[in-house]
Amino acid sequence: MSGYVSAKSRVLFILTLLTLGSVLAICLPAAAAASVDGSLKLMPVPASMTVREGRFRVDEDLTIGGRSPQTGRAFKAAARFMSRLAGRTGLFLKQDFLAAQDPPGEGGVLYGFERAGALLPNEDESYALTVDPDKVTLDAKTDIGVLRGLETLLQLLSVDEAGYYFPCVDIADKPRFTWRGLLIDVGRHFQPVDVIKRNLDAMAAVKMNVFHWHLTEDQGFRVESKVFPKLNQLGSDGMFYTQGQIRDIIDYAAERGIRVMPEFDIPGHSTSWFVAYPEFSSAPGPYGIERKFGVFGPAFNPADERIYPFLDAFLKEMSALFPDPYLHIGGDEVEGHQWEANPAIQAFKKKSGLADNGALQAYFNKRLLKILTKYGKKMVGWDEVFQPGLPNDIVIHSWRGPKALVEAAQKGYQGILSNGYYIDLCQPAEAHYLNDPLPPDSPLDDRQKALILGGEATMWSELVTPETIDSRIWPRTAAIAERFWSPGSVTNVDDMYRRLGLVSVELEELGLLHLKNPDMLLRRLAGDPRIEPLKVLAEAVEPLKNYERHGQAAYTSLSPFTRFVDACAPESLAARAFRKNIDQFLTGKDPMLGREIGATLALWKANHVLVLPLIAASPALREIEPLSLGLARACEVGLEALDRLMKGQSQPAAWAEEKGKILAEAAKPAAHAELAVLSAVTKLVEACAGPVK
């Protein structure tokens, strides 16, 4: 053996890696797939599309121009379109598009709109896009519709032997839901301005239109207050956005047709407020910034009249800073022990006829609602704000399930859905894609359905940093964006995954790090640029899902998030492709497919010996040895079962029981992750000898 691996091992690795290429094809971009018909890679799928014969050729003479009075938003969008088109094609476009956009001559892209769009719910975002062999026309009611159409046109870019082109199409498109959001929690882990901006660019690329900015948490107060400067000075560890930065981000989002809705989470999740103002809590201080994660006791004291002038002054300041008509007050997970233990609060409840803590919170929310109404804001809150007596001009944001959303709509409340779109929980894209704010079996009538505004993907930040957050948001959020935009009948999961791989690469041009940073993390861990064995292992592994990872260590906001699990994608597309191959093989026992599966199993089995030298050289990697060994042993079982199936031989139940023990051992979590391929191997064993115990 050399200091790294033997020559024989390197040859084996290269040969088996080539074999794995066919398995990974489903998750990698393929120029061939795009060149057959560029329209097939659109995400979101348009409301209506007809593909015609013919191609509009893209060359250096391409021009773009508007035939409507120019607004800054459409002008800048056209400039970004040309810049991104040049970046994708390498063409030296001749038009001085940043200086002027005169109506193009023959062979150009011509866009038009009737008026500037307002950043409000139910604004018209529709567009009509026609690509002919000699011209491209884009028409919309508003300039926001132009933005949406330009993103579609970029996605249509295709390639053949003659070069780049747009396929000839007629598209009439509009969103299904008016509220298509992404929440980013910057309280638990602060995310700098550049992280926010690149994610705004990605949102615009997939036609999302609401950035929900979760700005306060137990772990940090992230917005500058000039009225109460101690809030950000004492409650943020120095990590907060200045008001100048906030205005810059709001303007940046507006140029992309995206609203910015702030959230200040009260009365719970509010420890960071009390670092500066402990007197407003329901229990005596002092308080420090919370480093752990979970649901904590500190909460505002609704019985203390002093808090309402304080909140009035703060919300007045924030209402002036954030122009969006909606402001989110949080309102979730008030733990309640401080309220129960405070005699003054209990006396207030009794005097006011408030039966329980829910009624007390409803009282608090009514006081907030009056303040927000005074400053022209509409109140949004999580499920817990849905209490009797609140006027129905508030918006219910459902995180606990669609039942509350339905009940709220039946009582006349508008609602948005986030249950089922918690992207921090590392669920597969399919699970999010098939979750619908208005499923076909909805019990709501047409009037009530109109109250369901849409939904939001939620990126809670307990386990992410600026280095890893993109990989937890993208590309799965593009599938959620399609659910919010496209007709409800668009539900083909396999086609969604095929397009998702293509869109993922296109999103990378916007500066996202979801494809780039995992390799960087692995190189850092290994202390070596030769990380191919780690990449192979990572392709077969997924982080623990839901909240299971929190049970593996005492995570805090100061913990390292640079371990192997942080380099693993939330969903292994290689494992998904492998599972589909197994299902197909078990249906027909195709020998060619069987050999392909065998090659994949052989690769994963052989990879363990290649991982071991990297583990030996890096203490930070030692925790992954059980994963690597478990994968090798599981694949050995899979190869044995596959061989029996290929030969038409069955095995006794005792054999399945013995192999089941090996698979059960391999299934144990390690390094805060789990093997994503075991269910497919289990199917091979069960096909030989019945259920695995």
Q: How far apart are CA 372 and CA 381, in angstroms?
A: 13
- What is the three-class DSSP state of 625? helix
CB 104 within 8 A of CB 73: no
Tokens of 620: 């930070």
Nearest in space to 308 (alpha carbons), one of 367, 230, 348, 366 = 367
Nearest in space to 380 (alpha carbons), one of 313, 309, 327 = 327
- Among 123, 333, 335, 640, the active-site one is 333
Q: How far apart are CA 171 and CA 593, in angstroms?
A: 39
Nearest in space to 40 (alpha carbons), one of 484, 509, 490 = 490
606 — phi, psi (to 5°)?
-70, -20
CB 658 within 8 A of CB 614: no
Q: How far apart are CA 292 and CA 289, in angstroms?
A: 9
Q: Give the chain's end-to-end CA distance (angstroms, integer).
A: 40
Q: How many CA atoms lie within 13 A of 37 on its CB side?
A: 9
676 — phi, psi (to 5°)?
-95, 0
Tokens of 375: 């400053």
Q: Which long-range contacts (CB under 8 A, 24 or more apart) does 372-379 make?
A: 372/315, 372/319, 372/327, 372/329, 374/312, 375/315, 375/316, 375/319, 375/320, 376/319, 376/325, 377/315, 377/319, 377/325, 377/326, 377/327, 378/325, 378/326, 378/327, 379/326, 379/327, 379/329
- Please report, for residues 211, 234, 481, the alpha-carbon distance to residue 180 in angstroms, rounded to integers and kept in the order given: 9, 34, 7
- Please report, for residues 44, 126, 181, 421, the alpha-carbon distance to residue 481 in angstroms, rounded to integers and kept in the order given: 7, 16, 8, 10
Q: How far apart are CA 44 and CA 295, in angstroms?
A: 36
Tokens of 596: 């392909």
Nearest in space to 573 (alpha carbons), one of 512, 521, 503, 498 = 498
What does the chain come to in residues? 693
Beta bridge partners of 127: 140, 173
Buried b vs exposed e over 177-212: b needs ≥16 C-beta within 10 Å?
Answer: bbbbbbbbbbbbbbbeeebbbbbbbbbbbbbbbbbb
279 is known as an active-site residue: no
Alpha helices in 375-475 (DSSP H): 402-410, 429-433, 446-449, 469-473
CB 610 within 8 A of CB 5: yes
CB 258 within 8 A of CB 203: yes
Q: How far apart are CA 155 and CA 151, in angstroms?
A: 6
Q: How are beta strands 163-173 and 127-131 bridged, if at all?
A: antiparallel
- Could you write out the three-class secondary structure of 300-335? ECCCCCCHHHHHHHHHHHHHHHCCCCEEECCCCCCC
Q: Any idea which residues carry the catalytic annotation?
A: 333
